[in-house]
Amino acid sequence: MGASLLGCAGPPVLGNQVLGYDEVAKKVDEQLLLLNIARVDDGEGVHFTSTSSIAATFDWTTTVGLGGRLSSGSSVADYLDLNLGASASENPTFSIVPVSGEEFTKRVVTPFEEESFEFLVFQGNGINQVMRLMAGGIEVQNERGAFVRFIENNPARRPEYEEFRRIATHLQWLNDSRKLFVRSLVFDETLVADRKDPPSPEDLNNGFDRGLRWRLKPDGHYELIRTVAGRVIVANYDPMALSDAERYRLNERIRNNPQGFVYLDIRPDGPGGDMPVRGAIKLRSMLQILVFLARGIRQNEEYRVEPDARTGTVLPGPVSTLRINVSSKRPEAGPPSVLYHDRYYVLNDKAWDRTSFHMLNILFQTTVGDVKAVGVPISISK
C-alpha cells in the first residue's frame, strides 16, 4: 500500500516541478531582455546572466499507521484506525553563469548572419516586422555592386527612416501577394571539370560521404560537383528560375558583401518593379537592436509612416517596432515586466509586440549560444 501511495504522489509532483522550473527560466530570460533595454534607456551598459542548469533532488516519503480501541462496554463502539500519509521535498541547485568574456562580447556586437534573417521570415514572421527589428538600414548599390547611398532605419533621420519604412512595407505587400522570394542561392559548384577515366568505387563512396557527386558529361568524360547553399537573396523573381550558371554568377557578385548583409534585388521588370531597389539589407547586432528599442522609448520615438503610392493594399504595421511601456505603477499580471530604478518596464500587450519580443528572444538565444563556454557558473543550493 505504501508503494502504491508513493507511485501516485511521485509523478505528479515531479511533472509540476519540471514545468515550474521551465516557466521560471523562460520568465527570467524575458525579464533579462527588458532589464537590458531599461539599462540602455537609463544610459547604462548591458549585462547578461543565464541559468545554465537546474539540478533538483526529490524525496518522497510515505507513512502508514494502524490504531484501534476495544471496549467491553456496550456503550462504546470498537474501532480500528488506518492512517496513510505521503510527503515530498526537493533540494534544487541552480548554476548561474555571468555571460561575459571576449567570445560573447564579439557575438553581442557582431551583426547577425543572414541565415537568422531568413529563418525568421521562413517561420512566417512578416518581412516588414523582421526588417524593422533586425535591419539598421538598406545599402543601395549600382549594377556593378558599388555603394551608392545608405537608407538608415533611424527615426532621427526622418527622410531616410520614412524611405526605409516604405520599402519594408512594399516588400511586405509583395510577400503577401506571393511575389517575393527570400531564400538561399543553391547551385552546383564544379570541383573537377574534366576526367576521362570513370571514378573508382572508393571515389564514389568518399564523394557521397562529403556531399560530392560524379556526373557523366555528354562527351563521355566525368565531372565532380557539389551542391552549395550560397548567400541569401530577397527578390521579386524566383532565383530557382535562373540557370545554375546564373545563380553561381549572382552568388559570386553577392560575395562582395560581408556577412551581415542580405542581398536585395527588386527589378523593374518584375512584380512591384515600379519601386525598384538593388542593394543589401544591413543587419544589426544584438547590442544595436537593444539600443534601437531603448531609444525608441523616450529619446528617439518612432512614428507612423504611410505606404508608398506604388504599393498595393497592405497594413504598414504599428508605430513602434516593439513598444515598451514605462510606469511607476506596479503592473497587473500579464505581459513580461521588470522593475528598474523604481520604474516598471512592461511589454505592450498586443499581438505585434508579443511577436517582436518573441523574435528578440530567439535572436538573444542564438547570441548567447552555449553558456558553459562563456562564463564561470555560480552554484546556489536551496
- CA-CA distance, 51 to 33, in Å (whole number)? 14
Q: Which of 64-68, 180-184, 240-244, 372-376 has the lowest mean pLDDT?
A: 372-376
pLDDT tens-digit readout, 347-372: 999 999 999 999 999 998 888 765 45
Q: 304 and 315 in contact (C-beta within 8 Å)?
A: no
Residue 359, pLDDT score: 97
Q: pLDDT at position 191, please?
A: 79
Lowest average pLDDT, out of 150-164, 213-227, 319-333, goes to 213-227
Counting Cα atoms < 13 Å in the Cβ hemisphere of 287 gives: 13
Q: Which helix (H) or strand (E) holds 32?
A: helix 2-41
- C-alpha cell of 8? 501516485
**Is pLDDT above 90 for 307?**
yes
d(CA 158, CA 1): 75
Top-confidence residue, 220 or 159: 159
What is the spatial distance between Cα 38 and Cα 72, in angstroms, rounded to a whole number? Answer: 78
pLDDT attached to residue 59: 58
Q: Would you kindly state where each structural domain of the chain is located, as residue ranges?
A: 1-110+323-382, 112-284
Q: What is the pLDDT of residues 236-258, one digit of tens each?
A: 999 999 998 899 999 998 988 88
Q: Which residue has the higher pLDDT, 376 or 359?
A: 359
Contacts of 130 (CB under 8 A, 6+ apart): 117, 120, 121, 359
Residue 121: its pLDDT value, please?
Answer: 96
User: What is each CA distance from 224 to 76, 193, 204, 210, 261, in whole angstroms?
Assistant: 99, 7, 10, 12, 31
Cell of 348: 505592450
